[in-house]
Amino acid sequence: MTDLMTAPAVKPANPNFSSGPCAKRPGWTVEVLANALVGRSHRSKPGKARIQRAIELTRELLEVPKDYLIGIVPASDTGAVEMFLWSALGARGVDMLAWESFGEGWVTDVTKQLKLEDVRILKAPYGELPDLDEVDFTRDVVFTWNGTTSGVRVPNGDWIPADRQGLTICDATSAAFAQNLDFSKLDVVTFSWQKALGGEAAHGILILSPRAVERLETFKPDRPLPKIFRLTKGGKLMADVFEGATINTVSMLCVEDAIDAMEWGVREGGLKALKARADANYKVLADWVGRTDWVGFLPKERATHSNTSVCLVITDAQVTALPEEQQAALAKAIVSRLDKAGVAYDIGAYRDAPTGLRIWAGSTVEASDLDKLTPWLDHAFAVEKAALLAQAA
Question: What is the pLDDT at residue 2?
Answer: 67
User: pLDDT tens digits, residue range 376-392?
Assistant: 999 999 999 999 999 98
- Average pLDDT of the chain is 97
d(CA 58, CA 42): 18
Between the alpha carbon of residue 105 and those of residues 62, 99, 188, 334, the distances in Å are: 26, 11, 17, 29
Mean pLDDT, range 289-306, rounded to an integer: 98
Pairwise CA distance, residues 353 & 29, whole Å:
33
Coil/strand/helix, residue 120: strand
Return the CATH number of the domain spanning residue range 30-266: 3.40.640.10
pLDDT digits (tens, 9 = 90+) for 230-251: 999 999 999 999 999 898 899 9
Residue-range domain boundaries for the chain? 30-266, 270-392
Cα–Cα distance measured from residue 183 to residue 39, given in angstroms and rounded to the nearest whole number: 37
Order of strands across the sheet that contains 119-123: 69-74, 203-208, 188-192, 168-171, 140-144, 94-98, 119-123
pTM for this predicted structure: 0.97
Instruction: Please tell me the CATH code under which domain 270-392 is placed.
Output: 3.90.1150.10
**pLDDT digits 0-9 by tens, 201-224:** 999 999 999 999 999 999 999 999
Q: Is the pLDDT of residue 1 over 60?
A: no
Q: What is the mean pLDDT of residues 111-129?
A: 98
